[in-house]
């Protein structure tokens, strides 16, 4: 296992996704500042944050617990991206990019969860 959460590829990918969410939501209508914009940003930030927090725990079981929270936040974000597209706040190209990146993070999370769960 890596020595730091920053060494984890899944954390790095989640950070890139989070940055992209911030850039895209900056273009949302100002009426959404305390609505969908904030919800999407919170869900996005929760993904790498939970990965980092979980990495700081001693056991694989505890780490997996936080990875599952990260995965839940990622699924929440994917739902919000689809809603943003439905509301025409994002183009299909922008939402497609976010969803592809989220799917990459999801695959990496699932792989890490599976790997750690076999060692619990």
Quote the CA–CA distance of 90 and 112 in Å, as a whole number.
31
Tokens of 38: 């904030």
What pTM did the predictor assign? 0.93
Tokens of 14: 């989640």
Q: pLDDT tens digits for 24-48? A: 999 999 999 999 999 999 999 999 9
Ordered by start, the domain boundaries in the chain are: 5-117
Q: pLDDT tens digits for 54-107? A: 999 889 999 999 999 999 999 999 999 999 999 999 999 999 999 999 999 999
Indicate the CATH number for domain 5-117.
Answer: 1.20.1440.60
Quote the CA–CA distance of 48 and 15 in Å, as a whole number.
6
- The predicted pLDDT at position 110 comes to 97
Concatenate the DSSP letters of all residues of 9-76 into one string.
HHHHHHHHHHHHHHHHHTTS-GGGTTTHHHHHHHHHHHHHHHHHHHHTSSSHHHHHHHHHHHHHHHHH
Question: In the structure, what pLDDT confidence band is assigned to residue 118 with cuts at 50, 70 and 90?
Answer: confident
């Amino acid at each position: 296992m890596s020595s730091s959460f920053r060494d984890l590829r899944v954390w790095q990918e989640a950070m890139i996704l989070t940055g992209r969410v911030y850039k895209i939501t900056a273009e949302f209508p100002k009426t959404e500042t305390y609505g969908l914009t904030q919800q999407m940003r919170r869900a996005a930030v929760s993904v790498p944050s939970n990965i980092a927090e979980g990495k700081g725990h001693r056991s694989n079981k505890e780490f997996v617990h936080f990875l599952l929270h990260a995965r839940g936040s990622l699924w929440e974000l994917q739902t919000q991206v689809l809603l943003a597209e439905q509301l025409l706040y994002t183009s299909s190209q922008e939402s497609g990019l976010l969803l592809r990146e989220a799917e990459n993070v999801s695959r990496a999370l699932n792989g890490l969860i599976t790997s750690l769960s076999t060692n619990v």
